Chains A and B, each alone.
Chain A
Amino acid sequence: MTSQDVRLKKSDLFNMFIRSNLHQGSWNYERMQALGYCFMMVPIIKRLYQGDEKVKAMKRHLEFFNTQPFVTAPILGVTAAMEEERAKGAQIDDTAINGIKVGLMGPLAGVGDPIFWGTLRPLVAALGASVALTGSIAGPLLFFVLFNVVRLAVRWYGIEYGYVKGLNVVKDMAGNKLQKLTEGASILGLFVMGALVCKWTTINIPVVILSITMADGKIITTTIQDIFNQLIPGLVPLILTFICMNLLKKKISAIWLIFGLFAIGIVGFALGILK
């Protein structure tokens, strides 16, 4: 290995950031995000290697890889830093680089999935949808802008952070910062889910169970829904949610549950139980 003064430029990292927006484009059942990872590393490999070393680097980054896409950013930063060191002549072999990739992707997916898919997206999507239901363009815009601002920030600062910190990232991971973040996001997510179950569902059971004729001839009726509303509004959706949670845990697919609820809706509507 010849030692030479090869350095990454800021523009290489920026190029990697732009490419990272297409990270999962070639997701496949054999090596999942492997080709995507190599695709993102192209500017780095191009800058650092020639000939045989280039072939080795390309093969290195075509190995199996899969994690939550946004949290790949710090891993990209770290591998870029490691490749740069290696190109300068440091003794970093293939297994070290792939080891760090594989070592980081599991724990980071464990953080990225609940934060981005479990909290951030449902939150901004529900917010956007509740505005959209009034027919306002502000709903879709709110969702699109909020989500992407956070996402792009994570992608860019993640790469920068990983590149600057290098292998020290592993030390950071060992601390409880990430655990705090995950737990906090889960609390926020569950809290808002509770509110959504109660208020952002519509179910009406207009079955009359009590009908009183007042002295002045007015008829006051009480439906099942009235009783629920007096007890706890949203009790029926709450029960339905728990039934769904249990069925999902039993590996029944979400689509079947949706079809089942459709059937309940049609039968209930036909019988006049649901409105």
Chain B
Amino acid sequence: MEISVVQIVLIFIVSCISGMGSVLDEFQTHRPLVACTLVGLILGDVTTGIIIGGTLEMIALGWMNIGAAQSPDSALASVVSTILVIAGHQSIGAGIAVAMPLAVAGQMLTVFARTITVFFQHKADQYALAGNLTGIDVCHILALFIQALRVSIPAVLVAIFIGTSVVQTMLGAIPPVITGGLQVAGGFIVVVGYAMVINMMQAKYLMPFFFLGFVLAAFTSFNLIAFGVIGAVIAIIYIQLNPKYNVASAPALAGAQAASAADNDLDDDLDA
């Protein structure tokens, strides 16, 4: 599919917004659900965009920046893989497969952008000495713009070359065993994201709640909203009844400590 000039301009804008979203982490425009949907809208197949977004979102569920650690980059992965699937006529499985190396490339690019931003930090120090508040604004916004470009430049390049016959032939040459296998893997690759989220909680003594959720899901047909409500209710009851938060009675406290020690032992056994 040939991409028109208007579409390329729109892809540039959306990928700028997505790139800024990835460093800001505020509006979540870098998340696949948002970025893939917008690119799908531009390319005239919003439904496919939404489905790729949903698929990638589940895989990227645990991708988060904590402290100074950078996660794989969902912005570049989402934008470019959606272009490949819709304009390059690829399967969603192939799109996901391409998204992963793109996430690594995007991660390297954001590390690079965050390194050269040190320059603006120093420039801001000089403006501070001069008492120039506008200078602070300029430094901050320019740094943000670098993050916009680091996604939009690769995205626009892909959008320009996707229509060429060379790229189309290359994409067509992927054997079906690979795309089929990737489609299959897409179904269970999400566990990596789940594992990242669980690890990040770092609360072994709360793992019984994980198993409760698992077993309830295995033997009921509740949807996610039901699980959200049940989970919230359990959390509130746990907090209300937990003797740790009702320090008044000492015997109760001792009992709780014994109980939580027992929980830990149990978890250790399960993990082993």
Contacts and interface: CB of A to CB of B under 8 A. Distances in A.
Interface of A: 21-32, 34-36, 38-39, 42, 45-46, 51, 54-55, 58-59, 62, 66, 69, 109, 113-114, 117-118, 121-123, 125-133, 135-137, 139-140, 143-144, 147-148, 151, 176, 180, 183-204, 232-234, 236-238, 240-242, 244-245, 248-249, 254-255, 257-259, 261-262, 264-270, 274-275
Contact of A66 (B67, B137, B192): B67
Interface string B132-160: 01001101110110010000000000000
Given A122-B62, A193-B210, A22 B144 contact: yes
A183 B191 CA distance: 23
B195 A245 contact: yes
Interface residues of B, number: 112
A241 B198 CA distance: 9
Contact of B188 (A34, A131, A261, A267): A261
Given A122-B62, A255-B104, A262 B189 contact: yes
Contacts of B80: none
B100 interface: yes
A55 B131 contact: yes
Interface in B172-197: 177-178, 180-197
B141 to A, nearest CB: 7
Contact of B195 (A123, A151, A241): A241
Contacts, number: 366
A135 B50 contact: yes
Given A30-B118, A269-B184, A25 B24 contact: yes
Contacts of A62: 121, 124-125, 128
B266 interface: no
Contact of A261 (B189, B209, B271): B189
B139 to A, nearest CB: 6
Given A127-B225, A191-B235, A195-B224, 12 more contacts: A26-B124, A28-B120, A35-B120, A38-B136, A62-B128, A69-B25, A118-B201, A151-B26, A183-B203, A199-B218, A237-B188, A248-B199
Find the residue from B26, B140, B191 having the highest chain A CB count within 10 A. B191
22 contacts: A24-B25, A25-B141, A38-B136, A54-B131, A58-B131, A114-B200, A128-B57, A130-B224, A187-B231, A190-B198, A190-B210, A190-B213, A191-B213, A195-B227, A198-B215, A240-B188, A254-B72, A257-B192, A258-B59, A262-B185, A269-B181, A274-B181
